């Protein structure tokens, strides 16, 4: 049986390009080039029927290692907690005050981009500290 070698993470959202560009800044991802024959994504969008314009946007890891992130417009807003979320791993290998300092610095950077800090989950016997946050449309993620 074949196994999956690649995957993408899909976000339902109201404003795909806005949310995608936020995640580009968070993760160091980039917007891929527009389809062949189009000078820009805006140029490509203008070729689509009005109802399809702005319906989706994507970003990719420039190193090709991380998954593609795909953002699709949906009519309904977010109502409950995400069933799946991203952990943005900025404190790998760090513990205690050193870890907290790195998490807090990244939290401040992301808040300036439009993220919302929810709460600090302090270290316990099993886990190191992390900060629960929301992206620009309220999707939860953790700084870990």
Cβ atoms of 30 and 60 within 8 Å: the answer is yes
Between residues 127 and 17, the one the model is more confident about? 17
User: pLDDT tens for residues 24-70?
Assistant: 999 999 999 999 999 999 999 999 999 899 999 999 999 999 999 99
Model pTM?
A: 0.86
Structure tokens at 124: 């316990």
Tokens representing 103 are: 């998490």
């Amino acid at each position: 049986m074949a196994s999956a070698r690649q995957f993408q993470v899909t976000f339902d959202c109201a404003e795909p390009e806005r949310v995608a560009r936020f995640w580009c800044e968070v993760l160091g991802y980039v917007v891929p080039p527009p389809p062949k024959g189009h000078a820009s994504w805006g140029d490509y969008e203008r070729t689509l029927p009005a109802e399809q314009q702005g319906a989706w946007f994507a970003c990719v890891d420039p190193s090709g290692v991380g998954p593609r992130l795909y953002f699709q417009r949906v009519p309904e807003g977010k109502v409950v907690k995400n069933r799946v979320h991203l952990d943005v791993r900025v404190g790998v290998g760090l513990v205690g005050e050193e870890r907290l300092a790195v998490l807090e610095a990244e939290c401040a950077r992301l808040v300036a981009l439009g993220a919302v800090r929810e709460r600090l989950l302090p270290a316990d016997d099993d886990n190191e500290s992390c900060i629960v946050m929301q992206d620009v449309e309220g999707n939860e993620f953790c700084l870990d």
